[in-house]
Structure 1
Amino acid sequence: MAVKNDVFMMVEELPAVTEVGSFNPGQELSLSAASAVVMDADTGQVLYAKNCHQPKPIASTTKIMTALVAIECASLKSIATISPHAAGTEGSSIYLKAGEKLVLEELLFGALLHSGNDACVAIAEHVAGREEVFVNFMNYKAYRLGAKNTHFCNTNGLPNDQHFSSAFDLALITCNALKNPVFNRMVATKTHSITGPEGKRFLSNTNKMLWSYQGANGVKTGTTDAAGKCLVSSATRDGRRLIAVVLHSEDRWGESIRLLNYGFERFQNRTVAVQGEAFSTIGIKEGEKRTVPVSVAQNIVVALPVDKEEKVERIIMMEPELRAPVRPGQAVGKLQVLVEGEMVGQADLITMEGTPKLPAYQMMWHKIWNKI
C-alpha cells in the first residue's frame, strides 16, 4: 500500500474469468459500415469498434439529441403552434400545417418514429424560440456528455458539412438518453397515432429492428446521400442492454444484428464491487471505534469476454484516516475498476458505520497512556 497526496492508493488484482479459448476481438466481424461500435449501456464499455471516433455525417440519428434536449427542457403537455417555417421544412415529414397546434409529446413521436424533419423544427421553435438557439443547446449537451467529435447545425440531420458525429459519440449520447424514461418509452414504440386538423396521423417506427430482433427496444434510423444508411439500435437480453451504431452501412439491419449478437454472445457482465459489502476499513482518530468498514455507494458491474482472461484491477483511493465523529454513509474516497489498464467503472467509497467522538476524559487518558 502506498501513500500519495495523503490518500491511500491500493491496487488489487481480481481473479479473471476462466480462459476457454483464444480471443481476437471482432475477428469474425467484417462490416461494410464506414464506422461502427457496440457499447454496453450499463457500463459504457466499448465491446467492438471500427473507426468509432471518426466524424461522419449522421442524418436523422441527429434526432436522438433533439428529442433528449426537448424532453429535458420542456413539458410534454405544452402546446406548440406550428410556424410556416417548420411546416415548410424539406425532407421526411409528418405533414404539419402552419397554425396547427400540437402537444410537444406528439411532435416527439413524429420525430422519433416517423423521422419528421418538420416535427424537429417545430420542437426547436417551441422550446427555444428559434432552431438556431435550440441547436446551441444540443451542442452544449453533447459537450457536457463528453462527445468530442460531434457538432450539430440543425435538429434533423439535413446535410451540412459542419454537421457530424461519430459512432462512439452517438452511442454515448444514446446511452445517456436511454436513462430518460420518456425517451426510452418512445424509441421502443412501434406505432402511434396523433390527431391533426385533418384527422389522425398514423405513425409507424422506421426502425425495423423492433419487429425482427429479440429484445430490440430502440433507437433511430438515418438516411441521406452523404451519410448513407445509418442506424442506432438497442436491445436487452437477460438484464443486459447493448447499443449498436453503424454509419454508412450497405446492410444496416444485418450488420446491427451481427454487432448485437456479438456483444451478447461474446461478453458477460461481472459484478466486481457490491453495495453494502465491506471490503476495506478506515482508521478513526479520537473515536469510540478505532476503525469502521467501508463499502461502495453502488454496485460496479463490468463486461468481460467469456473466452479470454482479462486483467481486472480495483484501485482504492481513500483517506488514510478520519477524525471522529463519523457518520454512516460518509464519503471517504473512490474505487476505480480497470480492465486491461482502462478504467471501466467507478463508485464513491462510503463508511458503513458511524462512531461518536470519545468523551474528553477518555481522550485525556489515551493521550497520557500513549506517552508512557
Structure 2
Amino acid sequence: MKKIIALFIIILMITPWTCYPVFAGTIDVSAASAVVMDTVTGRVIYEKNAHQKRSMASTTKIMTAIVALEKGNLDDIVKTSAKAAHVEGSSIWLEEGEKQRLEDLIYGLMLSSGNDAAIAIAEHIGGSVEEFAKMMTQKAKDIGAIHTSFKNPNGLDEDGHYTTAYDLALITRYALKNKKFAEIVKTEKKKIPWEGHKWDRLLENHNKLLKTYEGCDGVKTGYTKKTGRCLVSSATRNGWQVVAVTLNAPNDWEDHKKMLDYAFNKYKLQTICEEGDLMKTLPVLGGKKDKISLVASSTVSLPLIEGEKDKIEIKYEVPDSVTAPVNYGQKVGKIDIYLEETKCASIPLISIDNVERRDWKLSFEKIAKNWMMMFANKDLILKNLFD
C-alpha cells in the first residue's frame, strides 16, 4: 500500500500543470525565452516564448548531474581521460589520468561549471559521451521534456543540442526532488582534492543569486557566445519553491529577480486538502461494518492568485460501493483537483477502516438453527398465537 501511495505522489510531482498565468506579460524581461514554474504542481506562473527550441549552454549540466546521481555511485572513483582533460571552456583543471570521486566531480560540474568534469562523468557513467548524451535525452523524455535533445554533457554549442525554457523548468523541477542535487546546487563553496598539489581545489558557485536574492537555493548558470546568457534559478519562501528559467537573456540576473518577485507577490500557496482529511464515505457489501471512511492520502497545496480558490473543483473517481474485506490504508479511488478546466493535482483516497468479510457459513447456520428451533416448538408457537 505504501508503494502505491508513493507512486501516486511521484506522478503528482512529475506531471506538469499546463495552466498558463492570468497575468502573463505584466513584467518585462530581456530573455528571448523565459518561464517560472511551481515545483510541486508544475503550474506555469509566467512565460515568454516558453516552448521555443533554443540551445542552453551550461544549464545542460542540470541533466548531467541528475543522470550521474541516479546511475552512478557517489563513491565511484572516476579516472580523467585525455578528452576530458583537454576539453575547451570552463574547467576545474582536471589532468589526464587524475582520479576523483564522482561526488566531487558533480560539485565541480555544478559549482564551477567544469566542462572537464562533465566529460569525465559522461565517460564513466555512459562509457562514452555519445552514449551518455542518449541517456540524458531519454531521461528528459521520461520527465516529460519532449522538446529537448542532448548531444553532450557540458552544453558546448552543437547541432541537435537544444531545449525549451519550459522543458528546462520541468527538468529542474524533477532534479530538485533529489536531495543530493538540491544540496549541491545551493552550496556556495566546496573544497575537493587536487592530486599532485599541496592544496585542495576551491570550487565557488557561479550563481550569485545565492547571495543576493532572499530564499535562493539554486541552480545553474550558462553562457556561450552563440547561445548567450542562460540561467536557471530556484527560490523558496514560506515553504513554496519556484523555478525560473531564462535562455539568451542579456540581463539575466535582473530578469530572475523580477520573475521570482512576481511569483511570490502574485501567488500564494493555498491548501486544498490535508493528509487525513475525510473526503467521502462508501457502503460496504458483505462486511461486518456497513461503511468505510475515505481520507486524502497526502496534502495538496496549490499556488493561486486572489479569488482562484473559490474556483477550485474536486472531482471524485470512486466506486458506488466496495466489497469486504477492506484493509486500513487500502486505496479506494482518487480525487482530481481542477481550477476551471485545468487539472491541477490527483491523489488517491485511502480507507481508514478495517472491514472483515461476513462469515456466510456461520450466518447460514445461525438462521437454520433458528428455523429448526421454531419448527421444534411449533405447537407452543401456535398455542401462543391463538390463545
* Partner residue in 1 for 2:268: 268
Q: 1:143-162 alignment to 2 at 5 Å?
A: 143-162=141-160
1:238 corresponds in structure 2 to 238
Partner of 1:351: 351
Letter in 2 for 1:92: S
- Contact 2:78 2:100 (C-alpha < 8 Å) held by counterparts: yes
Compared CA separation, residues 366 and 155, structure 1 to 2 (3 A): farther
**Paired position in structure 1 for 2:228:** 228
Contact 1:266–1:307 (CA under 8 A) maintained in structure 2: no
Which string of whole-angstrom CA distances, capped at 9 and with x for unpartnered residues, describes residues 136-156 of structure 1? 111111111011111100001
Q: Is 1:124 the equivalent of 2:136?
A: no
Amino acid at match of 1:271: T
Query: Is 1:81 equivalent to 2:104 in the alignment?
Result: no
Partner SS state of residue 161, structure 1: coil
Q: Which amino acid aligns with 2:192?
A: I
Q: Which has the higher helix share?
A: 2
Q: Percent identity?
A: 40
Q: Which deviations, in whole Å up to 9, do the C-alpha atoms of 1:343-369 show, x marking residues without a partner?
A: 11111111121211112157659999x
**Alignment: residue pair count:** 346
Residue in 1 that maps onto 2:102: 104
Which residue among 59, 62, 72 is the counterpart of 2:60?
62
Among 179, 184, 187, the alignment partner of 2:177 is 179
Q: Pairwise mapping of residues 316-355 of structure 1 onto structure 2 (< 5 A)?
A: 316-355=316-355
User: Partner of 1:48 in structure 2?
Assistant: 46
| Bigger proportion of residues as strand | 1
Question: What's the CA shift string for 1:294-339, capped at 9, x where partnerless?
Answer: 1121111111003666621111111222110110111111211111
Rg comparison, structure with higher value: 2
Task: Determine the structure 2 residue equivalent to 1:291.
Answer: 291
Q: Distance in 1 between matches of 2:344 and 2:312?
A: 10
CA displacement 1:48-87 (0-9 Å, x = unmatched): 1111111111110000000000011111111111010110
AA aligned to 2:348 is D
Q: Secondary structure at the match of 1:122?
A: helix
How big is the shift at 1:129?
1.6
Alignment-derived partner of residue 69 in structure 2 = 71
Equivalent residue runs for 1:164-203 within 5 Å: 164-197=162-195, 198=197, 199-203=199-203
The runs of at least 4 aligned residues of structure 1 exceeding 6 Å deviation read: 365-368
What code does the residue aligned with 1:112 have? M
Tell me if the contact between 2:80 and 2:98 (Cα under 8 Å) persists in the aligned partners: yes
In the alignment, which residue of structure 2 is the partner of 1:29?
A: 27
CA, structure 1 residues 214+366, in 2 after alignment: closer, same or farther (shift >3 Å)? farther
2:325 and 2:182 map into 1 onto residues whose CA distance is 44
- Scaled by the length of structure 2, what TM-score is found? 0.86
Residue 39 of structure 2 contacts residue 242 of structure 2 at CA under 8 Å; is this kept in 1? yes
CA distance in 1, matches of 2:227, 2:315: 42
* Whole-angstrom CA distance in 2 between matches of 1:227 and 1:351: 53
- Is 1:216–2:216 an aligned residue pair? yes
Amino acid at match of 1:314: I
What is the rounded CA distance, in whole Å, between the counterparts of 1:139 and 1:316 in structure 2? Answer: 36
User: Is residue 326–residue 354 contact of structure 2 (8 Å, CA) maintained in 1?
Assistant: yes
Question: What letter matches 2:297 in structure 1?
Answer: A
- TM-score scaled by structure 1? 0.89
Shift of 1:98: 0.2
Change (3 A) 1:26 1:103: same
State the distance in 1 between where 2:63 and 2:309 align: 37
Contact 2:308 2:339 survives alignment (8 Å): no
**For 2:248, what is the secondary structure of its paired residue?**
strand
User: Deviation at 1:44?
Assistant: 1.8
Instruction: Tell me which moved more, 298-307 or 260-269.
Output: 298-307
What residue in structure 2 maps to residue 250 of structure 1? 250
Rounded to whole Å, the distance in 2 between the matches of 1:342 and 1:357 is: 40
Q: Which runs of 5+ in 2 are unaligned?
A: 1-20, 369-387
- Alignment correspondent of 2:371: none
SS at structure 2 position matched to 1:196 = coil
Tell me how far apart the structure 1 counterparts of residues 366 and 215 of structure 2 sit (CA, whole Å). Answer: 63
CA contact (8 A) 2:25 2:48 kept: no
- Aligned partner of residue 219 in structure 1, secondary structure: strand
- Return closer, same or farther for 1:145/1:38 CA change in 2, 3 Å cut-off: same
The offset of 1:340, in angstroms, is 2.4
TM superposition shift of 1:212? 0.4
Q: Offset of 1:239 from its aligned partner? A: 0.9
Contact 1:94 1:116 in 2 (8 A): yes
Counterpart-to-counterpart distance in 1, 2:307 and 2:292: 39
